[in-house]
Chain A
Amino acid sequence: MIKIQNLKKSFRTEEVETLALNDVNLNVASGEFVAIMGPSGCGKSTLLNIIGMLDNPTEGSYKFSDHEVGGLKERQRTELRKGNLGFVFQSFNLIDELTVYENVELPLIYLKMNKSERKQKVMAVLERMKIAHREKHFPQQLSGGQQQRVAISRAVVTNPKLILADEPTGNLDSKNGIEVMNLLTELNQEGTTIVMVTHSDRDSHYAHRIVNLFDGQIVTESQNRAMEARV
């Protein structure tokens, strides 16, 4: 599903040029659950953003389901992303002015789905994430764990092929963290590919494969034995 070859990404600020990703090669197969780990500032988020088509690579090739993404214009990337990808962030990134229901509904609106279909889908996913009773609440009125459940609902409501999660448990206590990881695992078992950035060893154990980044380069890749044993 994801084929990355010799990918480089550099940022230009006024004086310095930072090479955030240096010659990254990575393949992710459909249905995989991959964890990206590494110290802060090593380029994890940058890599995830490129995979999520929020950003363009400076050099190299990135193929998503055999589409070359590298040189696409912003509008084309948006089109390709819509409905195919879901995002989960550390800081949830819910819109404060919208209710839980409206937050989850948003991606469907951009897919131009009609209202009744939207309602049915949103309610289904909220039920599933056990947050339906809070549909009229605003994000500020929810706990961190609940907010992240809403964020995951929003990420999966379009039935995406790929979910990208950037430290999804970073702002949660361990109980809520485990709950979120179980949800992601469930989704993975239903066939959704997941790429997740994490700091936490505990979370990395949920993945099939761990990719270690250091200073913009992949240093080690390991199959997760423990995980396989558990499954």
Chain B
Amino acid sequence: MYKNYLKIAWRNLKKQPFFTFLNVFGLAIGMTGAILISLFVHDELSFDKMFADSDRIYRIDTDIKFGGAEMESAQAAAPMANALQNDFAQVKNTVRFRTKGSMLLRKSETNDNSKELQTTFVDSTFFDMFGIQLLSGDRKTALTQPNTLVLTKTAAEKHFGIKNAIGQNLLLNNTDTYTITGVIDDLPTNSFLKDYSVFMAMAGHVASRENNWGGNNFYTFIKLIPSANADDIKIPLASMLEKYMLPWAQKYFPGMTGESFAAAGNSIRYHTMPLTDIHLYSARESEMSSNSSMQNVYILSFIGLFLIILACVNFMNLSTAHSLKRAKEVGVRKTLGSNKTELIQQFLIESGLIALISLLLAVALSITVLPLFNELSGRAISLPFTNPIFWLILFVATIILGLFSGSYPAFFMSRLMPVKTLKGGSHTSVGGGNIRNALVVFQFAISVFLIVSTLVVFQQLKFIQSKDLGFTKDQVLLINDTYAAGKQVKAFKEEVGRLGQVQSSTFSSFLPVPSSRSSSSFFEEGAIEQDKAIQMGTWYVDEDYIPTLSMKLIAGRNFDKQHLTDSTAVIINESTLKRLGVNPEAALGMRISEEIEIEKSKFFTVIGVVKNFHFESLRENINALGLFLDKSTGTLAIKLKAGDFKQTISSIESIWTKLAPGQPFSYRFMDDAFNTSYDAEQRLGRIFMVFTILSIFIACLGLFGLAAFNAQKRTKEIGIRKVLGASISQITYRLTTDFLKMVGLGILISLPLGWYTMNKWLEDFSYRIEISWWILALAAFLAIAVAILTVSYQSIKAAITNPVKSLKTE
């Protein structure tokens, strides 16, 4: 019985290659999108779950409000971990990270450095905390001694084999010697440690042992005992302020109490952040790795769902449309005694078959586009071929999909009255047209919504890129890790400066693109009460910094080599000026100091005020900042004259290899570095774009099929109209506008929705565009243009058919 159904189903599909193709192709594209998105979402949700007892591990976060600055930190004070462990029985274990960013590594006897992008000091409890196994080395003693380190497999293999790495020495940043005491496997790509490859023993980090409750520089993780949960630690955490923080602070602000601290508008709060939530829910300053957000997961899930729904809608639309052609078959079957159930089964088996064929195609498509998708999403996702659950889910989902999409056409068909269908008369009596139209409206509403979203995301990105940032990022070349040249850094800058293509250059590790940051509390001379503190960024630059980056001084002067006193000078930005509460001219000559105790004070004199420039992402406001004249040789920023950059870069490289043999030469352009701050947005934009195109494509497939069906259904009518004197353009216009009405309705529904949603999205940005009418108009225009293109082919084809032929088919 079922074999017979299958046979008939297969024949039916083969008999209608065009229809089958549209159906299979549309469904396969929708499925591919859904598969990719599901894998991506699964990856997002799996972050850090592989670690032992991951559900009991928490990070201690600190919210600080102090000196007019607010900070949500992912870090805690150095003594926090020990205090928690000693004072509270619920805390089983702790570990701290003190990250060091990128470092150069080499064997002591060679000159060739390798660059490791993420390195960190870590407590020796690291292995127990996360259940990490060593490939070689002793788990108990590794990382207990100062100047020892553990490498990941990949990092170790750059210099040694895994086995013989133990006991070898490495030189870090050409200065400190470390002994390798262990090698671990590379860390999972779906963990917060994914980019880390070098782990140095915390025992060698002096600040980690200091009783300093003022600085929050240690990523602190705690593991609770199995019977405890996060709520049990809330009160203990809150007590840390009274117990440790205030007593420590009173050493510097005698007489300060919890009340006076709070009265000055200050506060410090500690929180727990579950390890497995970090990736999707944590967006604090200086996270250990770049996180994602639950919002993105939701957006993507919705898009995935949309795609599948679109594909199903297509399927239903095409099937019901197509089934009209089979009305006669149904009529005949019914008169021959076939009952409703059997007919429904026949149709469902057909749609199930289509869904399964689509699945095969979708899997093939997914394999093909996965590398592209990974590039787009910045992941290393693969299809879990060996996982039976993956296949089971796919298979079951496909069957459900097939049955669901097939159900409407099946019931629709099985209800047809045999007498009417055999008479072959009116098509209107067959009905279903309204539902088909509603489905088209729905598809275009979704497509236009996605078009609006894509346009807005890209508009905002363009706005960011072209905004006046207060400095010029174009034609600025950044040479990374220049400190590696050691004593030769000065010579390097001088020789580079002599190149014809170079306008000017400046040394600093602090740049208005992702780079080093530091900050400190400052006090105006004579106002050292703690409530007058100004939290200010401290950037160390040279005298070429302001001209090289084309920043503007609104008062005073730049640093000058001739002024020996400039070593105690500071150039403040407008935000600092605002905190000082004076006008630019009045600020000149003011003195500020970092220290609270007058005797120890070293004062810095304000010599200039620089116009505010954006040094963090445009999501954030511009905070107080001071530029200090000091040696900071992390990066050489070079302003180039227009011309052949390649040539200039290779000249710079040869100077580098001459002065710093064996040190890696790496560079980036400042505008590219700037754009990396908007990676998340750009990724979102690109993902939006891809899925928008997919959804439009699916919608068009549906429209195309429907137009073909419609033209066919109306062959006779078109023929009659032509006989009665209608011209080709009149017929084309008529057929096309019928569809455009539906598309128009879809647009009307989706524009306000898109406008509203994207306004919400834009609220995240301190500096943002307004959604202008033309974005909405453009989205509508695109949808209409695509629809016209899709439909007009069929309409014109129908319109130019000789009426003699169409009337004959009757």
Contacts and interface: CB of A to CB of B under 8 A. Distances in A.
The reply to whether chain A is a binding partner of chain B is: yes
A73 B724 CA distance: 17
Interface in B773-810: 800, 802-804, 807, 810
B567 to A, nearest CB: 89
Contacts of A106: 721, 724
Given A54-B802, A55-B804, A95-B717, A154 B724 contact: yes
Contact of B728 (A74, A87, A95): A74
A78 B727 contact: yes
Given A83-B725, A96-B717, A110-B730, 6 more contacts: A52-B723, A78-B722, A78-B727, A87-B723, A96-B425, A110-B725
Contacts of A140: 425-426, 429
A125 to B, nearest CB: 14
Nearest to A74: B728
Contacts of A99: none
Interface of A: 49, 52, 54-55, 74-75, 78, 81-83, 87, 89, 91, 93-97, 106-107, 110-111, 138, 140, 154
6 closest Cβ contacts across the A-B interface?
A110-B725, A82-B725, A107-B724, A96-B426, A140-B426, A54-B804
A144 to B, nearest CB: 12
B727 A107 contact: no
Contacts of B810: 91, 93
Contacts of B727: 75, 78, 110
Contacts of A95: 716-717, 720-721
Contacts of A82: 725
A38 to B, nearest CB: 18
B423 to A, nearest CB: 9
Contacts of B802: 54-55
B720 A96 contact: no
B807 A89 contact: yes
B726 interface: yes
B428 interface: yes
Contacts of B717: 95-97
A71 B376 CA distance: 59
A55 B723 CA distance: 11
A110 B723 contact: no
A154 B720 CA distance: 11
A209 B730 CA distance: 39
Interface in B470-519: none
B716 A93 contact: yes
Contacts, number: 57
A54 B803 contact: yes
Contact of B724 (A49, A110, A138): A110
A144 B728 CA distance: 30
Contacts of B425: 96, 140
Interface of B: 425-429, 716-717, 719-728, 730, 800, 802-804, 807, 810
B725 to A, nearest CB: 4
A122 to B, nearest CB: 13
B28 to A, nearest CB: 33
Nearest to A89: B807
B723 A54 contact: yes
Given A54-B803, A140-B426, A93 B720 contact: yes
Contact of B428 (A52, A93, A96): A96
A55 B806 CA distance: 12
13 contacts: A54-B802, A75-B727, A78-B726, A83-B725, A93-B719, A93-B720, A95-B716, A95-B720, A96-B428, A97-B428, A107-B725, A110-B725, A154-B724
Nearest to B800: A74
B807 A93 contact: yes
Contacts of A49: 804
Nearest to A84: B725
A210 B507 CA distance: 107
Report which residue of B429, B721, B802, B807 has the largest number of chain A beta carbons within 10 angstroms of its beta carbon.
B807
A55 B722 CA distance: 12
Contacts of B726: 78, 110
A147 B48 CA distance: 76
A95 B718 CA distance: 9
Contacts of B721: 95, 106, 110
A107 B722 CA distance: 10
A83 B724 CA distance: 9
Nearest to B717: A95
Contacts of A89: 807
B721 to A, nearest CB: 7
A190 B723 CA distance: 24
Contacts of A93: 716, 719-720, 723, 807, 810
B733 to A, nearest CB: 13
Contacts of A111: 725
Nearest to B730: A110
A74 B804 CA distance: 13
B740 to A, nearest CB: 19
A82 B429 CA distance: 32
**Among A95, A138, A154: residue with most chain B CB under 10 A:** A95
A81 B725 contact: yes
A93 B724 CA distance: 11
Contacts of B427: 96
B414 to A, nearest CB: 23
B720 to A, nearest CB: 5
A34 to B, nearest CB: 20
A91 B722 CA distance: 16
Contacts of A107: 724-725
Nearest to A154: B724
B424 to A, nearest CB: 11
A146 B719 CA distance: 22
B805 to A, nearest CB: 9
A96 B727 CA distance: 20
Contacts of B426: 96, 138, 140
